[in-house]
Structure 1
């Protein structure tokens, strides 16, 4: 009797023990890979000495945030094909970044998107970009902390989930502060590998739970109306909303993802990294969609809010521990990348924009970056206190932090990548017009049309910059520049590689 009681207690606490073990391994891996940075370049981008595979994994770990499984699987279950196609908009986003990476030769020595903006448009646009990027990062970290709390509260009853959430947050802050980008990259590899293995196990568990053969699952999915292509055209506006998602994905820029481009040794490596990430993004999006579809096959009568309770109801404690670890891996990998990006923007962009000079020695710059990482993490924890509800927090962050960064920074950044060299006044006019249009459209435009304010604001920003450039007097040397010699060589190499590959295929 006593042995059975002891066994039940151990089984009950298995998820907790697995979470503590995973957090311990993450901390050990992060601290083990820590080496004292002697230059800010080493702290920020690891001297650009990362293997392509390592960069692919760390980009994937940054792209796929912690709310992926929590949010997307129930939406696939409830909405069907339309939401599956929404998931694959991320593929377009990453592919666009790969094309931009090819043209970033003149900016590859930079550390952040703000520095690139500053090199073209001056210190004021650089400061604005940095401030918005920091707000973006704090919002993203706050969402990840909230996801951690939700995930652990969902599967662990033996301890207050807020305690584990605080512990996980402090651990990721610790290795992000001490190790810089190298520790973050290595822990990203560990965390993302864990997520992929556990996602495969979850798919296997849900397939067995359906009690159906593979053929039966396919036939049942094929018969569902909301999973057929015709469902996109049955309700007015569905197809238009899908197009809006893909258009916004094409222009969406996250400072954390752009910062990963600067970690590459060359535009060619950046292109190869994001091209491979595009493929894996499609595979992972398909896995997430499959989880929602398997739940639907198992029980097509559930409410969206009952999807995760259905998944967990008969799940062994070990599997529950696996799911928490999987979600923790995604949340921590996204959060540490955002903390690092915010630290770079403060120590490398904000101070230089305000003072017009370097912070001082590289040691002072590194210390400022470490302090920023700590403060940013604590600020994100405070935000979660004011917005404890995940959906409310996500809506706030997407609308204000992520939305305003994209509509303000994306047009001047993309124009700079394609060879436009505008003045400070030109960039500020575009940023101001884009922000103003967004505010006005949110208040009145949505009453008469379903067009998203973000798309309109991005277009207004770019058009205002072009109008300001051509209608107002400009300093000498401003305007469009041709392709530099490095970009020409890169394109020649790509064409030669494609021709060589084609000749092999023909043989």
Structure 2
């Protein structure tokens, strides 16, 4: 297999993606609701594929291979990220009977905190999605550039992004769901073949590989809860943050495309199992590569593997990464365009009537504009810069948004000043953590404790306000 053959296979892969998009046009999008959430007639398997393809980002294979060689703590870390957020959303979606008619997570937040919470949640997701999509475009470029040298990586990356833009703009949720099924098929099939071929490349039976790993200190069971400096609190906080960081509009949106909360609950449960299997398979590939190159440092093992891999192996790696990255990009672009057109622009008084009349056009225009912005960021800013921005975002998102969202799903109804008190408490807790707690335990994993402070502040303020109102009514003189 030559490099030109890889270019041909890439063309076939993209043409099949477009063919699946054309198949989705048998049910045309005639209004904004159909564009946003489809016709709410998706099968559970289709929704599972959409959730899984969105949840498995383009960097997942590389990170799993690197983390697989670093020890049991990092293996548990990868599995936890894949499984726990989807299990938590499976539980929450079973309580979302009142919100199945919503089109976005910010709209659900408006139930608790009116336009303020809706706008705050929307702005958080727009900011995060732009950075994530920019990083995924960089992943696509960095994947094709070393493997397909007969064509310009810039041209190929732009072409892939344009294809995503075309079917996301005109096909909406239905086109994205069907292409995600195709990407999941490619991902899972090639990953199984890749695992088998890497095992054959090692030249060792599985039993010998297991004995080899047992002899390594980082794979001893006691390292499961301890980090580099044996700080158990640090490890516990990191594990507690896993289920929370991924609860954002891009995953919650899959609840709204379901026909019922029961279907959503099953879809997230099955997606959690499927994503865990995919992650374990990638980790096994990493362990096989580690046994193949036992003297290579973990941070260098990915590049070392690619430099010694055959062209067929490189091709499989390329299409696995492209499948994950494209699925993440199309879903995030779709959801961020809905949030801009439906939650942000409609909240502006002098634009409300125009946006309502041309909702579908406004959403598609927002999708086009965000795509151009992400391309510009991807080709003009380094990965390190974008990752730093994303890390700063993650530090504030969970403590500010997640507690009110969980409370509203579980049935809390309160006033928006109470919600703003909770959000402000969560935000201030992050600064307090960084100033006083970080110097003691040396970790920024403040998601869970700061989110807890947010939730407790909302509950206490709601209780005190309710008690005050009851006392005021009981003390009112009878007329």
Does residue 219 of structure 2 align to residue 227 of structure 1? yes
Which shifted more, 59-68 or 425-434? 425-434
The CA RMSD measured in Å over matched residues stands at 2.3
Q: In the alignment, which residue of structure 2 is the partner of 1:107?
A: 99
Aligned partners of 1:474, 1:181: CA distance in 2, in Å?
Answer: 45
Match of 1:505 in 2: none
Segments of 4+ in structure 1 off by > 6 A? 473-477
- CA separation of 1:431/1:356 partners in 2, compared to 1, >3 Å: closer, same or farther? farther
Aligned-pair distance for 1:234?
8.3
Residue 133 (structure 2) pairs with residue 150 (structure 1): no
Structure 2: gaps of 5 or more residues:
471-479
Aligned to 1:465: 458
Unmatched 5+ residue regions in structure 1? 1-9, 478-507
CA distance in 2, matches of 1:267, 1:149: 38
Cα distance between partner residues in 2 of 1:344 and 1:22: 28
2:427 to 412, 416, 435: 435
Is the 1:206–1:311 contact (alpha carbons within 8 Å) kept by the matching residues of 2? no
Q: 1:121 to 1:223 in 2, by over 3 A?
A: same
Alpha-carbon deviations, 1:68-119, whole Å to 9, x = none? 0122211221x21010000121211111110001100111110111000112
1:27 aligns with 2:27: no
TM-superposed deviation, 1:456 = 3.2
Tell me, yes or no, if the aligned pair for 1:30 and 1:183 is still in contact at 8 Å: yes
SS in 2 for 1:148: helix
**Distance in 1 (alpha carbons) for counterparts of 2:303 and 2:129:** 31
In structure 1, distance between residues paired with 2:219 and 2:187? 27
Once the 2 structures are TM-superposed, how far is the Cα of residue 291 of structure 1 from its aligned partner?
Answer: 1.2
Deviates more, 1:147-156 or 1:329-338: 147-156
Moved more, 81-90 or 316-325: 316-325
Question: Distance between the aligned counterparts of 1:381 and 1:433, measured in 2?
Answer: 36
Q: Is the 8 A contact 1:92 1:246 kept in 2?
A: no
TM-score between the two structures when normalised by the length of structure 2: 0.91
Q: Do the aligned residues in 1 keep the contact of 2:341 with 2:355 (CA within 8 Å)?
A: no
Instruction: Give 1:315's aligned residue.
Output: 309
User: How do 1:331-480 and structure 2 match up within 5 A?
Assistant: 331-355=325-349, 359=353, 364-389=358-383, 391-400=384-393, 402-451=394-443, 452-472=445-465
Structure 1 residue 278 and structure 2 residue 272: aligned? Answer: yes
SS in 1 for 2:38: helix
Q: Does 1:268 align with 2:259?
A: no
Match of 1:248 among 241, 245, 255: 241
SS at match of 2:221: coil
Partners of 1:58 and 1:474 lie apart in 2 by: 45
Tell me if structure 1 keeps the 8 A contact 2:124–2:397. Answer: yes
Asked whether the 8 Å contact 2:73–2:227 carries over to 1, the reply is no
Q: Secondary structure at the match of 1:83?
A: helix
Would you say 1:198 and 2:169 are equivalent positions?
no
Q: Which residue number in structure 2 is paired with residue 96 of structure 1?
A: 88
Deviations 1:268-318 (A, max 9, x none): 001111111121122112111101100111111112343223322343323
Structure 2 CA distance for partners of 1:104 and 1:357, relative to 1, 3 Å: farther
**CA contact under 8 A between 1:45 and 1:262: conserved in structure 2?**
yes
**How far off is 1:359 after superposition?**
4.8
Work out the CA distance in 1 between the residues paired with 2:409 and 2:294: 48
Could you tell me how far apart the structure 1 residues matched to 2:56 and 2:456 are?
A: 32
- CA–CA separation in structure 2 for the residues paired with 1:242 and 1:456: 14
Give the corresponding residue for 2:41.
49
CA–CA separation in structure 1 for the residues paired with 2:360 and 2:142: 34
Q: Deviations over 1:448-485 (max 9, x none)?
A: 233523233212221222233233469989xxxxxxxx
1-side partners of 2:155 and 2:237: how far apart? 40
> For the residues of structure 1 that align with 2:372 and 2:467, how far apart are their CA atoms?
44
- Write the distance in 2 (CA, Å) between the matches of 1:73 and 1:437: 35
Equivalent residue for 1:85, pick from 76, 83, 89: 76
- CA–CA separation in structure 1 for the residues paired with 2:143 and 2:233: 34
Distance 1:439 1:385, change over 3 A: farther
Alignment of 1:127-142 (within 5 A): 127-142=119-134
**Greater displacement, 446-455 / 244-253:** 446-455
Indicate if the aligned counterparts of 2:106 and 2:121 stay in contact, CA closer than 8 A.
yes
Where 2:306 maps in the other structure, the secondary structure is helix
* Shift in Å, 1:379: 1.5
1:37 is matched with which residue: 20, 29, 32? 29
Q: Deviations along 1:123-164, whole A, 9 cap, x unmatched? A: 121111111111121121111111111111232323332221
Instruction: After TM superposition, give the deviation of residue 211 of structure 1 in Å.
Output: 0.4
Query: What's the counterpart of residue 483 of structure 1?
Result: none
The residue number in structure 1 matching 2:111 is 119
What is the match of residue 178 of structure 1? 170
Distance in 2 (alpha carbons) for counterparts of 1:359 and 1:379:
26
Residues 89 and 245 of structure 1 are in contact (CA less than 8 Å); yes or no, is this contact kept in structure 2?
Answer: no
Cα distance between partner residues in 2 of 1:399 and 1:12: 39
The question of 1:214 aligning with 2:210 is answered no
Distance 1:124 1:243 in 2: 33
Q: Secondary structure at the match of 1:122?
A: helix
1:73, 1:344 → 2: CA distance? 35
